[in-house]
Amino acid sequence: MSELTRIPAPDGVAPSAAYTHVVTGTGRFVAVSGQLALDEDGGLVGEGDPAAQARQVFENLRRCLAAAGATFDDVVKLTYFVTDMAHMPAIRAARAAFIPDDRLPAASAVQVTALVRPEFLMEIEAFAVLGA
């Protein structure tokens, strides 16, 4: 695990309860591709259900991080691509099961008109830093 420093709100920047503005660390960089609500066999989880899709996406992120020897404690940045910003509360609830509020990474949320298939409601990518 990397030694990370979180700066929730730099001087002159409004704080947020939903993410940390700056996260720094030293070590090996890990990039996890955008994850979708697919089970291990490639089947969609939670058609039309943002909460179910968000839980599956975070579970997929957890598995990808583990494959690199990382955990959510090592994550410095999450990027959310959502087809509707109304899905963000479901995403935050799912995230809370994996990442405690005092360890939130930097984050960006982008509303998109479509993802690779119309049944996907979100795609989330992660960046982590492992200790040197």
| pLDDT tens digits along 101-123 | 999 999 999 999 999 999 999 99
Which H or E run includes 6? strand 4-7
Report which of 104, 94, 109 is spatially closest to residue 73, judged by C-alpha positions: 104
pTM for the structure as a whole: 0.90
Q: What is the pLDDT along the chain (132 residues), one digit of tens a residue?
A: 568 888 888 899 998 888 888 888 888 999 999 999 999 999 999 999 999 999 999 999 999 999 999 999 999 999 999 999 999 999 999 999 999 999 999 999 999 999 999 999 999 999 999 985
Q: Does domain 30-130 have CATH number 3.40.50.300?
A: no
How many angstroms separate the most distant Cα atoms in the chain?
A: 47
Q: Are 128 and 74 in contact (CB under 8 A)?
A: yes
Quick one: tokens of 121? 């409601």
Residue 1 CB burial class (10 angstroms; 0-12, 13-18, ≥19): middle
